[in-house]
Homo-oligomer: A and B are copies of this chain.
């Protein structure tokens, strides 16, 4: 039986369902603690005996490093290190997508107070300030007012270290809603629309907001196809914003949660993931 490592910081809701679905489909999926791998030796004892590695670390810093080290040991990794690196750096992702003529939001890269002031001068309010590196919607802040923006940026400048000081400023596009597309391999397994529940401006799936199933029209399918062409096959959560000019790709999550999306879908997401794992390891 094929044996796949599920590398994560813990076994959560999604991981339990993936392990169960694997068992029902003749695949062994075993949790491996992402903080106890000690990778680096060429043979990678912690991972070398698996037929593949699926990375679901919630840490936004561990995924890319573990994938790099696992690939160096010639173990197939989902997602690839290249895909994870592209996803975890929101600037890299936008550059890649834009180069492939995919629609992305306008943005400014903010590395300093001067950049931040210039971004505020170039783009009209309301704006979104978000870290280049990070996940689950954390530190994604809406700037409605110019006169408080600088005091919010104080936190980036005073408390941010290293990569934490890298931010994007972008127009506020989603009008309170976004579409999350769950992809396994090349297949769009499910898609759902998220809308802010009112208490928080963010419509992020991680924040427990209201959601409903959305039809997978040809526009969404075409975008998803093109994103997979850029990143390679894998397991992705692709977040879209709907704008008057059509959808734009906001982010791609390389270790996507799917609990909320699963509620809206008739499709069985864990089974779709497991089938893709079987394909990869066969």
Contacts and interface: CB of A to CB of B under 8 A. Distances in A.
Interface of A: 33-42, 60-62, 65-66, 68-69, 71-72, 81, 85, 89, 91-92, 94-95, 98-99, 106-115, 118-119, 122, 132-134, 137-142, 144-148, 150-152, 154-156, 158-166, 168, 196, 198-202
A37 B65 CA distance: 29
A162 B133 contact: yes
Contacts of A134: 158
A151 B160 contact: no
A150 to B, nearest CB: 5
A142 B37 CA distance: 23
A181 to B, nearest CB: 24
Given A36-B115, A39-B108, A151-B200, 15 more contacts: A33-B114, A35-B111, A35-B113, A38-B114, A38-B119, A39-B109, A61-B165, A65-B109, A68-B95, A69-B95, A72-B94, A137-B151, A151-B201, A152-B155, A155-B155
A159 B133 CA distance: 13
Nearest to A62: B111
A60 B89 CA distance: 15
Closest 3 CB pairs of A and B: A35-B112, A155-B155, A159-B159
A244 B164 CA distance: 41
A35 B114 contact: yes
A52 B200 CA distance: 38
Contacts of A95: 68-69, 71-72, 81
B163 A35 contact: no
A163 B166 contact: no
A68 B92 contact: yes
12 contacts: A35-B113, A61-B111, A65-B111, A69-B109, A71-B95, A85-B85, A141-B148, A142-B148, A147-B196, A148-B201, A151-B200, A162-B163
B148 A41 contact: no
Given A108-B41, A154-B138, A161-B164, A146 B199 contact: yes
A154 B139 contact: yes
Given A40-B107, A61-B162, A155-B139, A147 B72 contact: no
- Most interface-central of A134, A150, A158 (chain B CB within 10 A): A158
